[in-house]
Each structure stands twice: as structure tokens, then as C-alpha cells.
Amino acid sequence: MTVSQAIGLCPTLRLCEPDPVHYDERFTRLLAALNQVSPVVEPAELGVAYLGTDGLEGIYGPPGKIVAVIKRTLESWNVGMKYTFQPFNLPTFRVGWGPGKFVAWVAATRAKSGDAVIVSPGEAGQFLAAQSISTLPIDPDTHRRLRQLGIRTLGALAALPEEAVTAQFGAPGRRLWRLAAGRITEPVVGRVAPEPIVAALTFFTPVGERELLERSLDQLIARALKHPRRIGWRVQAVRLVAELEGGGSWLAAILLKDPTADGTRIAAPLKTRIEQAPPTGAALRLVLEFTAFAPGTAELQLFARDAGAAARAGQRRALESAAREIQQRLKRSGLYHVIEVQPWSRLPERRYALIDFEP
């Protein structure tokens, strides 16, 4: 349905301009909140995140209690999410717990708003069998072919021989069959988000001309490339944010196929985005962020010693903070490190010793 058709059916309809920057900020806060529960957090897409729970039983208890902690964390994050068109501050999250990311995601889609669905490892096959094949990550053509074959549920797909599904759909079919049968348990892969390099420019008057925006972009890239923390590293991911007149926003996130430190190559995909999908209004402020980096050449790395030392110091502070938190929760030190005692000894147990890691 088009916007004009919707207004024709409902003249009092209120149109809300998209605000991708706000959505991204809220999701970033969500990831930070989940990181207080587990150090392994994997963002999948905007609004979807996986949480690694291996090892949390010793801190929180069985899966039910882990899920309860996650729900309390999300409820605290949910405060302030009330919108002007929403009469009540209803929960806006769903939680699923299960062996592997696929089972957990399906469980979350079956949970009620503000609630959770827990699937024990031994119940994964039975739980998946009753689900629709629409839960599988498949393209519309494969979905149509499965329905033409009379396959409506994951259980019906898993009941077929694996070789027959592979012969019909190839290697992707083998993966789909294993997902439907609960044979794949994908682990959660945590990601380390480096501190971004940010450069911003505020306009005295709103700017809507593409040429001025591109010229401002070149200035921001040149400024960010001169940042001390960027020396010796190539840029791999970049974001451009525009704060628009009237309260809206515009966002372009680019992942460079080949990391580079060349300003022209960094600007090229962003300028293409500005040309193909320009901001919907005049820009009041531009913000450029380098959000991911790759090591530079050997020559560039010679100048990156300060940046490397700063990164190691940051990792050390994060380790000490995590160690203090574990010690407070367990009431004892759960981390140790190895020291040399008698390296000349013939007995291995006398060469080294384990001592508590004191942050």
C-alpha cells in the first residue's frame, strides 16, 4: 500500500519520518546493556542480538535464571522507549534460549512481547518440528518449491532423507535440512568493537546541495585520517551521519571490501550513496566515523607503536574490570596467571606456579 492510498483510507493518519541514527543509538545501548550480562554478544541485524551463555551457570544458575537476568536487563533498557503514539510503555523485546543461534532465534519469534521461550537441548528437535518452513533463512524461490512439494513444517523437511534434499537443492539444501533437524548448533561469536575515530562538522545554515555535502565529506575524511590512533591502520568500515533540519536523520554505513587509508577510495562509496539515496532534508550537521580497522603495511606499522600501546592498555583495563566483577560475584578469584618459579628444574610442576590474578 502506498502512502497516498493509506492517507486516502485514513485522513487522520500521522506520518513519522524515519530516524536511523536514533535506531542505531538505541541498538548500541541495548548491546552495551547485554554486555553487562555476558561478555559474548553478537549483533546480527538491527534489533536482533545473540548472547553467549556458556559458563554463566556458575554465576546466575540454570537457564531459567539466566533468562530472568536477561529479561531484567532488557526491562531496564526498555525504560524510556515509550513513543508519542504508544499509550502505554509496553515491553518491546522477546527472548529465546536454546542450543545454537537458530533454535534461540526461532524460540524468540514464538515468545510473547516481554516474555521468553526456553528450549532445552533435548527438546530442540521436537520444538523445531512444529515450526513453519518460513523460519528458515531461504529465498522466496526455495520457499515456493518447498511448498509445492507439500513441505509446510520443519518436521516434514527433516523427515526426508538428507541425501534427497541435497540432490534437489544442492549444498544450501543440506544446510537447510540440518537446521530443520536441529543438527547444527552455531555458537555465538562475540565481536570486539574498537573505539571509533569521529570527525564532525556543523553548518551555520542548513545544507542540501550535493556538491557542498561531498566537499564537506572530503574535509571530514582528511581530518579523520590525520588522527593519531589511525596512523599505521587502514580503514575497513565507515559511517556517515547527517542530522537533518526538522529533527530527522540520515545514515550511510559502508564496509570497504579492501581496507584502505586513501581518502578518495573511502569517499567514493559514500558519495555514491549520497547521489543514489540522498538525505530527505537539508543537513545541519555531518558526522563521520571510522568504526573498524585493519593492520596496515609493514612500513605503516612502524609508526603504529603508540596506537598499539594504547590498545594494549585499553585491553588491560577491560581485563582488570572483568576480573573485579567476577571476584565480586563469585566472592573469590576465578582467574589465575602463570609465573616462573624454578625454570631450571627438571620437574615441570616446579618450573611454574599458578597464582590468583589480582586486578
Q: Please indicate whether the domains covering 20-180 and 197-301 agree at the CATH topology level.
A: no
* pLDDT mean across residues, the chain: 84
| CATH value of 197-301 in 3.30.1490.100, 3.90.650.10, 3.40.50.300, 3.30.1330.10 | 3.30.1490.100
Query: What are the residue boundaries of the structural domains of the chain, listed by start?
Result: 20-180, 197-301, 318-356
Residue-wise pLDDT for 301-329, tens only, equals: 444 444 555 556 666 777 777 777 777 77
pLDDT at 323: 77
What mean pLDDT is predicted for residues 49-73? 90
**CA–CA gap between residue 329 and residue 216 (Å, rounded):** 49
What mean pLDDT is predicted for residues 146-158? 91
Q: Spelled out in words, what is the top-level CATH class assigned to the domain 20-180?
A: mainly alpha
Give the 3-state secondary structure of residue 306: helix
- Classify each residue of 86-120 as buried b or exposed e, where b means 16 or more C-beta atoms within 10 Å of its C-beta: eeeeeebbbbbbbbbbbbbbbbbebbeeeebbbbe
Q: Which of 227, 164, 167 minimizes the C-alpha distance to 200? A: 227
Does residue 87 register a pLDDT over 70?
no
What pTM value is reported for the model?
Answer: 0.65
Residue-wise pLDDT for 205-222, tens only, equals: 999 999 999 999 999 999
105-109, 111-115, 300-304, 342-346: range with lowest mean pLDDT: 300-304
pLDDT at 298: 47
Does residue 79 register a pLDDT over 60?
no
Residue-wise pLDDT for 245-274, tens only, equals: 888 899 999 999 888 989 999 999 999 999
Q: Specify whether the backbone of 305 is left (phi greater than 0), alpha (psi in -120 to 50) or beta.
A: alpha
